[in-house]
Structure 1
Amino acid sequence: MGDGDRREVRQQVRSGRGSVNTLAAGDVGDVHVTNNYYRAKWAGVIALAVAVVFGVVYHFAGDPDVRDAFASGPSLHVTVQTRDSVVNHNGAWLFPGRLLSPGQTLHTDQVAAVMSKRSDKVDTYETTTLVTVEGNRSHTVDITGIHIKVRSKATPAPGGTLLVYPSQGEDTNIKIGFNLDEPVPVPRNADREGKAFGGHYFDGHSVSVKAGEIVNFGFTFQTVKWDVTYDLVLDEVIDGEHTTQTVTNGSRPFHTRGFASAYDQAVGPYSRDGSFAVTDRAKAIEAMCGTPCTVRLTQGAAATAK
């Protein structure tokens, strides 16, 4: 290959038109120049592509719409703690069969021990539960309403043991009561002890939950006339979109039972030392919720136990 030919090849390499296939066997230096050129060219292309991809990911990762679109799990993480001990409960329970033998008495801690071993008890008259919600979206979740989804509703069957324990009261962040005897139960303002229900809670309140923020609801469900199983349903708005979220009592629905026409046995406080003993139905109910026993409303009609 003459000098002219070599100059042509070198000119092609410098201009980007060169190829190793046009070089003579002895032109090793020209091959190295060509290989280095293409390595640099592809490295630049890859670096640019990586930069573009990184920029796109960074841009969309900061977009709450995109984060919410790829978010896993419900919009609100929900934890339910139902009050099922004598110490914390504000109501009564029904047990199948008889709880005490004739003449037997139990102290409060003994009753609590019995209850801890019984999974067949059902809240009677009242269920109290603490529902904790935590925001799980970049956009704020607005809770605009809460309603009851009834699974079953029947007249309480007679029989079993009615165990009553007068109200101890309990404070939580937000107090909401449901009168399950209403044709359509609505969330009502509840007093500090959750014993008297007022107007519609969401007529004067709104609840907004930000990502990672925690809000506690203290719910009280009462009935004197029905045996009801039900779920809670949260009405939510996220960035203008309406959705609902169903809340259950763990793997089961909530269950609250009104008073039956007759029991095999009624058990209530016996003395000031904290003992419980067999009593009659009327005294047990009076100790629980007065005479007559009603779901106490500060406005509207209340049902009365028969």
Structure 2
Amino acid sequence: MGLAVGLLALMNLAGEAVRPPFDSTHTWLGDADLPRPIFRALELVSAVTLLWHAARPIRLAWARLGGAIVLGIGALLAALDVATFYGVLARGAIHGPAFVPASLVVLVCLGALAANVATDRTERPRWTLGRAAVCAAVTAASFVAMPLLLMVTLGPTRYERRADCAIVLGARVWDDGTPSLALSDRVDEAIWLHQQGLVRAIVMSGAIDEHNGISEPAVMRARAVAAGVPEASVILDEEGVTSSWTARNGALLMRRHGFSRAIAVTHYYHEPRVKMLFERAGVAVYTVPARMSRRLLKEPWFIVREVLAYWHSFLFQ
């Protein structure tokens, strides 16, 4: 697990150096109120400590103590985010079935790793093919667990706030022009936000189906207008072919219309990746998952696909 966390920290630092804005550390630790250079230095020391500790015991007492302290600082930042989360939850400012923030799991993991680094001087067994395979499997499982953790904590939590607009991510439209269940649920959630006065505009983002020529955003707009949303309040983005394109196009549309804050509306398993992409596009976004009128038949497959898509987006988008 420590190896996976160390590799994640290194990838985050490398991405921020090569292609900013890339940083996603705040997803796990919260918005740390530290100067960026200091935060980056702490992240680098944590990564080196965890990779060193995974390979062999840290014999140098000062290095072992220093690494444990830095990991402890990370645990402290996660604890502050946990306190913030429960404070906001107690005020009724957020809602949802997931009452455990991801930062609570991070707090436990970093605390355990800090204690392990501080006390463990046991010599590692020699590297064999079997040990390498086990290490690779556990590391891969940790990487799979990371987006899954966000899907069951951040994903279902409703961060309902006043915002300038809701940005709805498209889904399939059937050949007869009717929206799929997933698309209907997303549009209906945005309609509800508009009816509650939380947003004054809705951006319908999707693509024009290359097989049947039907525009997802046009179908979404028709459903919203039929429910009483003024047509002038609906903005179409027919180039939202992927989640990444929706984030980039959404940022451009928001600047064009003078919007500063948005609510991203999609399904819970999709929300963590969408939030990351919007933040990289420079958009301050809250997440409100679509309430499902019934469970999607392909939901398990969508979750598996989203794990892979999360890491693809993390590295390349």
TM range (shorter): under 0.3
User: More relative contact order in 1 or in 2 (CA 8 Å, sep 6+)?
Assistant: 1
TM-score, normalised to structure 1, is 0.21
The structure richer in helix per residue is: 2
